[in-house]
Structure 1
């Protein structure tokens, strides 16, 4: 059923940064239909219940859509369900879970007031900052480990984030390509670099990450909301951080 509210679908919306994005949008005075994409529907329902207790009044509505990013069939079903339930319309797609719907994006742009496509990237993916060594973060990420093999999985200069950094660097080009492909369709595209946040990413624990300087995940949620609500429209096609455009 078509709605006058902007329809937002976010993958991985039940936990971590995804949950904080949902929370930031849900407490906004601007009305949204927020669809939490998650692998397990019950976890999405639990997240909604928690959010509604924390924020008992909202202009927005919440729902859950099963979306397993490791299953093509699950994603196809999610696309079909959103198309059926929302009149073929999707105003904002936030690829927080790390996957793109590629060619399935286009059919959901019909009737949108200001369609937006967001990818969640990382500050570790900027090539320009791979030569920074004079900060604690630069030391952890960019220092070279001692000679010998294996390199280990802890301490400065290890290979612990090599795959992650490489994947997010590639994601930045995915964003640039979609910005190019969808430019004449009026779809605004960004990658959002939310910062070093104390989420469940990497499984090391929020307390340990905070001790290393990580910020509360709500900071990333607010940054994504700024993009959704048009405050970063002058930076379309860029990787945006909380307070700047991230260098390439």
Structure 2
């Protein structure tokens, strides 16, 4: 059984997930990083990229195929990790998607878009977590992390200084791009995190949501467009995830954490 901490990251072949892999590779601590992706080929390419960028790292990157919308894929991933590593020390639920635009541009019907938003961001994430809990409980310091969003907070949703919270002009139809399905699913994830905190408290599992900030990833559009809108480099969010993994936010267990403190509900 590996002596390194075993860290499983879903959706890790791109965006924040891949930057989190790189952040862990930059750490002086040794990890066995399980880079999860729906496509094993893309996961393998990302792992090679990350390991090549940090050849002196004490950590190692392995790949695993996992699609959180596919229960059979999740079960096979569990069997693989159980047989190869015997436990998971840190589970980072990073896989997610923002599909609201797909309705607005005509690629999805509204029901399909809403259902997929919840299926990926909330339901699939919960099923994967439920499946992997037995391996988390074999860790001496189990950590369970969910990647949420700054758009998920109810308390700040009426802050009109944020463009997404501003009301459009009266009349119908509304032409402004809405992200109601994405926001709602991530708010649901926050409550799911609270439930996992309650359920696993006596087992000693430390649980958080992490709100990494507006990052220049491909989520909800192109990287370049998000960057022009003021998005931060994804490595900034990834460093926050690494801080949580390494104990810097242990005082905030059961909360939604962000760089400047705790995100209000």
TM interval, short-chain normalised: over 0.9
SS of aligned partner of 2:209: strand
Matched, 1:6 2:35: no
Superposition map of 1:11-160 within 5 A: 11-87=10-86, 89-97=87-95, 98=121, 99-100=125-126, 101-133=128-160, 135=161, 138=162, 140-152=163-175, 154=176, 158-159=177-178
- The offset of 1:130, in angstroms, is 1.1
Residues 137 and 203 in structure 2, CA contact (< 8 A), matched pair in contact too:
no
Q: Which of 193, 196, 199 does residue 181 from structure 1 map onto?
A: 199
**Corresponding residue number in structure 1 for 2:115:** none
SS of aligned partner of 1:202: coil
- Normalising by structure 2, we get a TM-score of 0.86
- Normalising by structure 1, we get a TM-score of 0.92
- The offset of 1:52, in angstroms, is 2.1
Measure, in 2, the Cα distance between the counterparts of 1:242 and 1:189: 17
Matched, 1:238 2:236: no
Unmatched runs of 5 consecutive residues or more in structure 1:
none
Aligned-CA RMSD value? 1.1
Instruction: String of CA shifts for 1:111-141, please: whole Å, max 9, x gaps.
Output: 31210000000001111111111x3xx1x21
Measure, in 1, the Cα distance between the counterparts of 2:255 and 2:204: 16
- The offset of 1:149, in angstroms, is 2.4
Measure, in 1, the Cα distance between the counterparts of 2:16 and 2:59: 19
Greater shift in the superposed pair: 39-48 or 183-192: 39-48
Detail structure 1 runs of 4+ shifted over 3 Å in the superposition. Answer: none
Unmatched runs of 5 consecutive residues or more in structure 2:
96-120
**Corresponding residue number in structure 1 for 2:103:** none
